[in-house]
Amino acid sequence: MTTTRIALTVNGESVSADVPARLNLADFVRDQLGLTGTHVGCEHGVCGACTLRVDGEIVRSCLTLVVQADGCAVETIEGLSDSGEIADLQAAFRERNALQCGYCTPGMLMTAQDLLRKCANPERTEIREHLSGNYCRCTGYHAIVDAVERTAKARQRRS
């Protein structure tokens, strides 16, 4: 099997490895780095469970080859959580019971944070639209939208 040498930054840490050319980013962060907060649901890029940030933009890591991330800054749910960037969003998810089984939650949090970074005061319809690529089979989304809206309002009051 042919491998390619890659070097990237994951959650602020430099990482280099020899990887198979067809290895996707989700499997790399889960299996080789042990960052299992990135979930693999559909392996077709439609469920959002594998959402990661690459150079500041969210991607479906099941569709992104790790060689495509060579030289990039990758952030996982562990990185966002450890840095405190999403602490308020996580608290709002807990308070609104916006998580049930938790399988979709990491990808949902990453996508919600992406929206809040781009739009400080999104309307409920904008929240729903931005989260539309992340599937949750447990909550019915109402509590998730409430949590994102609550976080946006709280952040505006603080600024």
pLDDT tens string 58-97? 999 999 999 999 999 999 999 999 999 999 999 999 999 9
User: pLDDT-based confidence at 39, cuts 50/70/90?
Assistant: very high
pTM: 0.95
The residue extents of the domains of the chain are 3-80, 86-158
- Is 86-158 CATH 3.20.20.70? no
5-14 average pLDDT score: 98
| pLDDT for residue 67 | 98
Are the C-beta atoms of residues 11 and 82 closer than 8 Å to each other?
Answer: yes
User: pLDDT-based confidence at 159, cuts 50/70/90?
Assistant: confident
Mean pLDDT (the chain) is: 96
Local structure of 73: helix, strand or coil: strand
**pLDDT surpasses 80 at 1:** no
Topology (CATH) of 3-80: Ubiquitin-like (UB roll) (3.10.20)
Token pair for 17: 């490895």
Q: Which amino acid is at 34?
A: G
- Return phi, psi of residue 74, to 5°: -110, 135
Q: Using the 8-state DSSP alphabet, how is residue 69 labeled?
A: G
CA atoms within 13 A on the CB side of 44: 4
Torsion angle of alpha carbons 91, 96, 102, 108, nearest 10°?
-80
Helices (H) and strands (E) in the chain, counts: 6, 5
CA atoms within 13 A on the CB side of 148: 29
Are the C-beta atoms of residues 5 and 16 closer than 8 Å to each other?
Answer: yes
Overall size of the chain counted in residues: 159
Exposed/middle/buried for 91, CB within 10 Å: 0-12, 13-18, 19+? middle
